[in-house]
Structure 1
């Protein structure tokens, strides 16, 4: 199969059961706060609450939707010039019936609604959407598989003389063909592996390259990194790759339901020194964190108090010079499911989990 033969999406659409559960979680939040309403304004919160609806036009723009969650019902406020499309293609029937059309030249919401704002309850709202429900987990699994397959197809297609931009364009087109928004596409050829966020350039890939995608579909965001190598193995690079997988294992092993994100972060960052890296390596790039409807929801930092939930997604991404690993996984009671997995990609077992190694060409 080639990128142009991308399979049709099979993930489930809106789920009434999931939607009801999400509303119940928000009502519980209102009860704890003694509030009557909550205004949802961000892409992450809106896509979660509206069960995967696309709330954007421009990837860099503000949402064209806002929701006021009230005890007696929801108000789905939509710019009038977007309303017909959203009702026909994005909203579940129950939400379509609650649409309030707003002229495109006016604010979606008038200031001073008297309700809670997202910023008032940011941590509580993250907790509300942390544990994936049945339909959204199925969507996430399909998204992760598709994103991983795109990376496999790209890695099999590229050649050492390809530029990073040509490589990135193939990855981006593969995502779009599968209905995935390419939020981040990074490519580093051999000479640019020192950059942790390598925006593509005209530099050639050379003997070794890193490919990174962050793709969004149904509001969910899958994150993954892969390596492709040409010619003979590089023992130094292979050794660093094995050791960075050991660092990732420390992050994953400490990501246990009931633990805090800060505890997992501390265990993972301590593993750099234990596996032969500079102890300060974690300071040179963010390490990832919880995943879902935001790229990192939240990004892990020292001391953060968010609690790991059963059924929650994570994307840790430990890095060192010339080495990085990143996949989107779900933490269950008995271990992890790797969402961004393609059986065609080479792996080794680390701590009982199949982890990716470089694809050698």
Structure 2
């Protein structure tokens, strides 16, 4: 049986240690090689990463936790022939040096006075000089956002290991909050408890959606409101650590679910299982969506895929790109080590977890042994997917 689950850590156990210096150095070496190869092939001498996904990627996990969800960030990274130069203000420089494990990594840290007009931009210009500079959409140089973002795929072995380590934390934060759910609880209160559980595990809540019995049926993206959840609730999260993202969704119900909800949830699980099974090295991402379309029809919901995007590769964004059939990115081939999350929805129901592509099939990183499961038949055998938790 294709289980995909992994053991949960004992409650209260410490979070995993950060990657070793050796592992991070190996990852940094891979990133430098990719950037320099791209520079050589694109006619540039240096690349500037000002956004948070690019910064975390090129530095092997350095996070700009000060300006959450702002672009550009307060820490930039410039890569040239001499190495990686971090650019920030004197406000952040000391903390980065002392708390972010930079010692021994060979990263050059440049801290400019916070009150210097255009300080980060000015330092980037000084460092690059007359070099032909590409940027990710901000700062000096020529914008090349797609080219630089494309370097983030596929994940390195070190990134796959980090993704696998944080997956259980994301799932346990979500599942723990849902086990304490009450039908009278408001959506925003449940979302707050999920956020707190993520933060306790050193995870940023990149996304939290909560839909109660009424709103989960009405909206595919149920942004939490002050509405009372009612007899059931769907919660969806994306957790962020070290720049990497893990997605998962779970549903909870007071007592036995209504037949309609149970049927739709099973259909979503069947579609997701078919897509997980189809996510293999050498296939295109869009071919998996085609498998999903057939699975929707087989489950009795033809055309339902049109109501919501289906997911795709994960990494330094919740989806590095949405798999839209007919686009260049959707036609790219799946590789071993790629992270992915499919998120099929059937009005009011959703099934979603994060996986890593392996040679013998997909490996789950966000399923735990502590959540009930249902079994779906696939061409590779039975697969367990999260069921509706009955309280």
**TM-score normalized with structure 1 length:** 0.91
Q: Which moved more, 1:327-336 or 1:100-109?
A: 100-109
Unaligned runs of 5+ in 1: none
Measured after TM superposition, the shift of residue 152 of structure 1 is 1.6
Q: Which moved more, 1:244-253 or 1:2-11?
A: 2-11
Matched, 1:8 2:15: yes
CA distance in 2, matches of 1:184, 1:265: 23
Q: Secondary structure at the match of 1:173?
A: helix
Say if 1:210 and 1:2 are closer, same or farther in 2 by CA, change over 3 A.
farther
Q: Secondary structure at the match of 2:44?
A: coil
CA distance in 1, matches of 2:158, 2:225: 38
Matched, 1:33 2:56: no
Instruction: Give a deviation string over 1:62-101, Cα, whole Å, max 9, x none.
Output: 3111112112322221122111111111252255651122
CA distance in 2, matches of 1:109, 1:288: 35
Say if 1:6 and 1:200 are closer, same or farther in 2 by CA, change over 3 A.
farther
Preserved contact between residue 83 and residue 107 of structure 2 (Cα < 8 Å): no
- Alignment match of 2:357 (pick from 324, 331, 335): 331
CA distance in 2, matches of 1:80, 1:114: 27
Preserved contact between residue 209 and residue 228 of structure 1 (Cα < 8 Å): yes
Say if 1:330 and 1:273 are closer, same or farther in 2 by CA, change over 3 A.
same
1:1-361 map, 5 Å: 5=12, 7-14=14-21, 15-62=24-71, 63-94=73-104, 97-104=107-114, 105-110=117-122, 114-118=132-136, 122-193=145-216, 194-279=218-303, 281-303=304-326, 304-350=330-376, 351-361=381-391
CA distance in 1, matches of 2:294, 2:215: 27
Q: Which moved more, 1:143-152 or 1:237-246?
A: 237-246
CA distance in 2, matches of 1:27, 1:96: 17
Say if 1:71 and 1:241 are closer, same or farther in 2 by CA, change over 3 A.
same
Measured after TM superposition, the shift of residue 249 of structure 1 is 2.5
Preserved contact between residue 3 and residue 150 of structure 1 (Cα < 8 Å): no
Q: Secondary structure at the match of 1:109?
A: helix
Preserved contact between residue 277 and residue 361 of structure 2 (Cα < 8 Å): no
Preserved contact between residue 273 and residue 385 of structure 2 (Cα < 8 Å): no
The count of aligned residue pairs is: 360
Unaligned runs of 5+ in 2: 1-7, 123-128, 138-142
CA distance in 2, matches of 1:32, 1:215: 34
Alignment RMSD = 2.5
Preserved contact between residue 152 and residue 342 of structure 1 (Cα < 8 Å): no
CA distance in 2, matches of 1:339, 1:44: 21
Instruction: Give a deviation string over 1:256-298, Cα, whole Å, max 9, x none.
Output: 222222222233234322321141x222222111101111101
Q: Which moved more, 1:192-201 or 1:222-231?
A: 192-201
Measured after TM superposition, the shift of residue 19 of structure 1 is 1.2
Measured after TM superposition, the shift of residue 332 of structure 1 is 1.0
Q: Secondary structure at the match of 1:215?
A: strand
Measured after TM superposition, the shift of residue 192 of structure 1 is 0.9
Preserved contact between residue 32 and residue 83 of structure 2 (Cα < 8 Å): no
